[in-house]
Chains A and B, each alone.
Chain A
Amino acid sequence: MIDGQLPILQVVLPLMMAPVTLILRNPRAAWMLTLVVTWATFTISLSLLMQVLDSGTIIYKIGGWAAPWGIEYVLDKVGAFVMVIVSGIGSIVLTYSRRSVEMEVPEDRIYLFYTMFLLCLTGLMGIVITGDVFNLFVFLEISSLSSYVLISLGKDRRALTAAFRYLIMGTIGATFYIIGVGLMYMMTGTLNMADLSALIPAVADTRTIQAALAFLTVGICLKLALFPLHLWLPNAYTYAPSVVTAFLASTATKVAVYVLIRIVFTVFGGVGVMEGLGVQHILMALALTAMFAASTIAIYQNNVKRLFAYSSVAQIGYIILGLSFVSESGVAAGIIHLFNHAIMKCAIFMGLGCVVLRIGGVTIKDMHGLGHRMPWTMGAIVLGGLSLIGIPMTVGFVSKWYLVRAALEKDMWFIAVLIVLSSLLAVIYVWRIVEAAYLKPVPENAAPVHEAPISMLLPLWVMALASIYFGLDATNTLSIALDAANALLHGGVL
């Protein structure tokens, strides 16, 4: 009975609980409630993923109205997988969050923080599960608006400008998206994704549909921070509270990538826009530029949060590069890197949160000698860094293996070379931190520092060890990614 309602629960549960935290007001109680809700959504996501893997795509008709008149929720392998990522990251980050939030957010606003967190989770889950392009826009706005607020809660006053900038850019992105949706509606009269993918091939040659595609792609690329539309990201990540950075870096951009996958491979699946309209080459060129430009900029950053923010832009390049091969192993590489990057960046930003808690800042100078003063925290950050480089036995290696394979399969050997070269740039920026933490002496007159509390270290190390576990045995995650890629490339699942 309740089994059939699980898809909607995913969205409704955090949505209904958000106002409750507002009423509770007590920081501790709000945190507890949010914690329970996120873990519940994670459990539901896992069981949904199992269901999808066992018995195929789940379709849920809201209010019993059949599509295309009613809104339907559709969960296929990609969706279920991304959903597990989002709710899993959310649960771990939330478990970690209490001490960090207490320190970085003014006490009288902590309950608001958790309200916004739940709303953001609602939005992200909704985007992933919906099968309706307009409904997707609604959830996109819910998640975006709440994340602007979350970012602006940062201690540094520059968080306000960062949030404002993200607000402007994000709104432009969302507007572009809705223009694209409007144009599609004009030509087909439907907003249902499955319906759209059936109707679009007939009108694909019209300028309206092509304009729609252009608006959609640019709008989504703004949200997922594809170079050069990434300008909002570095400041937002740098000045947001650490918990928010850890959560958004591993989920928000990933969900935007998911939207791109949905639009390109499902809605426009019957048209072959990637090859036919040359979207493939544009994305590939931008992805490669992102990999090199953003990594190079990362090398010169002195704020470590900012450094890893630029690294995120580069890593998004890897994901998009995988998708742009439009081959099974390429798309699988993109999807698997979406998962892998979420894990490692979550670990890194949570580690930086520990540093903020104890030291108060995360410039390279703050890291001097930290390897000996906070060995567990730095150990986890270094593990995350090794994963970014793609050292074997970490998840980064798995992604790189499949990306290089996809490039070689298409005989694009120079792209394979570029992939490995750009991962060498990661060596440089990661090693700046390693050298600072382990080879620089502890600054004189530095106050004594304790290791971060166990309530933060535990979730941190769960993520760090996950990045090793899924690097040692990638067969499960890869088989899901390969299945999903296969389904996407053969007409989309919806």
Chain B
Amino acid sequence: MSNVGIVIVSHSPLVAEGTADMVRQMVGNEVPLAWCGGNGHGGLGTSVEAIMAAIDRAWSEAGVAILVDLGGAETNSEMAVEMIGEPRAHRIVVCNAPIVEGAVMAATESSGGASLKEVVATAHELSPS
């Protein structure tokens, strides 16, 4: 699929899955979508390994936009992108946007065939500058 992929990373698997449900309802299967949440050991948190796997599942040649909740999710997502490395890393962006609204808006933009840059810009518009 050539639409930009969306990855949702929350400290809570319930929040991540629920956000993904909302995205699916908006855009159906037009957009590659993956989520992960929890520390991988049954607790709240985020795991670099799980984020890397989610990026693989949502991978698109057009790139991947990642939506995160709290700071640790951002730090871990940035680490995951670095560990994935080039040539894919420059086509993966961790968005500065609220996770639920950002994921829905980014996915909607992506479903219309927008570029990674346009998808990320749409998500960023939701953040107070």
Co-complex (A, B): no
Q: Footprint of B on A, CB under 8 Å?
A: none
